Amino acid sequence: MSSGQDTKGAEGGDNSDDKKEEGPSNSQGAAGGDNSDSKAEDNQTTEKKEEEKKSALFDAFAISLGLKDEPKIESLLDTVDFNGIVKYIKDGKAKNIITMAGAGISTSAGIPDFRSPGTGLYDNLQKYNLPEPTAVFSLDYFKDNPEPFFMLARELWPGVFKPSTCHYFIRMLQEKGLLLRHFTQNIDTLESVAGLDPELCVEAHGHFRTGHCIQCRAEYTQDWMKERIMKPSIPKCEVEGCEGVVKPDIVFFGESLPHRFLQCMSEDFGKCDLLIIMGTSLLVQPFASLVNRTKENVPRMYINLENSCPPKLDPIMTVIFGSGFDFDGENNYRDIFWQGTCDDGCMALAEALGWGEELKNLVTTEHAKIDAANPDRGTLPAKKADSTSEKTNASPKKADSTPEKTDTTPKKADSTPKKTENTPKKCETPKTSDKTPPKPEAATPKATPGSGSKKTPLIK
C-alpha cells in the first residue's frame, strides 16, 4: 500500500475547532439559565455517597472486631454451582451478561499466552537480550530500543487464525441478545474474526488496527504498519520533519487505558446480571478490578485451567479493594469456579443450555469459511488440550458440580446459523478521527501490574 494521505491520518495540532466556546455562567439569571437547584442536588448526591462509604467502613470495623455479624446476602441462584448458573440463564434471569477474557481463550487457536512455563511468550524472550522480559512492553525501553518489540510483533501480528470455541460461544450470547459487553485483554482481534459486534467488544489493552507516531501522534493504518514491520524494518513517521517511530495502538506499561474502557466500565457493570470470566489470571490492573464492580449479589462464574483469582478479603479490605472470590467459603452465595479449558467450559455450558449442536455447527461453518478464504495457509494444527489457560502455582480442588466433559468435536453443518438482531447497548464505539487524539486526562488510571506479581505484563 502506498504511503500518502490514504495510509496515515492528519498531523497533530490545534483541535480548537472541536471545542465549544464557553458561554455565560449557568448560575446567572434568566439570560444564562438558573440551574442552582441542579447543583444543589448534585452536592446532595455526592454527600450521600460519602456518608455511605463512611458507614460501610464503620460496619467493616465492627464486623472485624466481632461486634457485628456479617450481613447475609440473598443468593440469586437456586444452587451455587454450575447447574445453578445454567438454570439462572434458562429461567431468563441473565439478560445482561458481561464476559471478561484473557489469553487463555486464544491458546487453542495457536496463539501462545504470556505466562505458561515453557510455552509462554515470556519464557521465550531470551533471544531478544532484554534486561527483563516485561521490558519489551515498556514505553521507556521502546523509545530507547524499539527493535525487540517489532521482532516480537512479527510473531504476534494478527494473521489467519481460527477463533476458538470460546470465541464463538461469546458470539452466540450476542446473537441471543444476552451479551451486554465483552471486555478482553487480548490484542489478537479474534473476537472480530469470530463475528463479535465491535460495539459490544472493549479491547482494554488496545489493538493493531491503527498506530500512532510516538512524537507527533500522526495516525497510520494497520496495512501501512504491516508492510514495514514484515519487511522487516522499524516503521518511521512520514510527516515532514518528524522521524518518530510508529507504535501500534496497544497499551504499554505507563500508558493510559483507552477512554472507551473507562466509559464502558462505568456504564455497564451496574446493569450486569451475570459475570463470566475466562482464561485470565486476573493479575493485571486495572482490568482485574472489574470483577468487583458488579452489584454484590450478581453471580460470577470463573472458567480457567487453574484457580488464580484473588481470595475473599476481610471486611475492611473489601470496602477498600473489593470482595475477591469466595468459591469454597461457607457463606458463598454467588461465586462458581469451573476448572478446565475455556473451550471445554463454554461447550459444557452450551450443552447444558441446549445450544451444543448450534455451537458445534457454528464453529465448523466459520472455520470452513476461513479455510476457503485462505487456501494457501492450509489448516491450523489441532489445539493442545492443556494450553487454553494461563498457569499459576495454585492447585484448587475441582468443583464437585462440574459436569462431565462433553464431546466438543464440531459436526459439519449445511449453513451458517442465522444471526439475530442485537441492538448494542449505549456506550458508543469511538470513531477513528483524522485528527490527533487528545492526551488522556491526568486522572485516567494507568495500566499497572497486580499485587500478585511485580513483573506482571500489561497485555495478555
Q: All 3 cell numbers of residue 148?
A: 525487540
Q: Is 118 left (phi over 0), alpha (psi -120 to 50) or beta?
A: left
Cβ pair 297, 38 in contact under 8 A: no
Q: Round to whole Å and give the CA distance between 441 and 256.
A: 9
**Alpha carbon distance 399, 413 (integer Å):** 34
Q: At residue 448, what are phi and psi to the nearest 5 degrees?
A: -135, 155
User: What CA–CA distances, in Å, run from 268 to 261, 290, 297?
Assistant: 10, 10, 16
Retrieve residue 282's grid coordinates.
486476573
Cell numbers representing residue 103 in the block: 489469553
Q: Which residues of 416-425 are buried (b: 16+ CB within 10 A; e: fewer)?
A: ebeeeebeee
On whether the CB atoms of residues 199 and 424 are closer than 8 A, the answer is yes
Helix axes 82-90, 342-353, angle to 10 degrees: 50
Annotation marks residue 205 as catalytic: yes
Q: Is 189 left (phi over 0), alpha (psi -120 to 50) or beta?
A: left
Residue type, 136: V
- Give the closest residue to 121 by CA, choosing from 451, 448, 458, 379: 458
* Grid cell locating 77: 441462584
Phi, psi of 144 (to 5 degrees): -80, -40
Q: Cell numbers of 178, please?
A: 444476552
Q: Which among 167, 182, 205, 207 is annotated as catalytic?
A: 205
- Quick check: 98 and 217 in contact, CB under 8 A? no
Q: Are 344 and 398 in contact (CB under 8 A)?
A: no
Supply the residues annotated as catalytic: 205
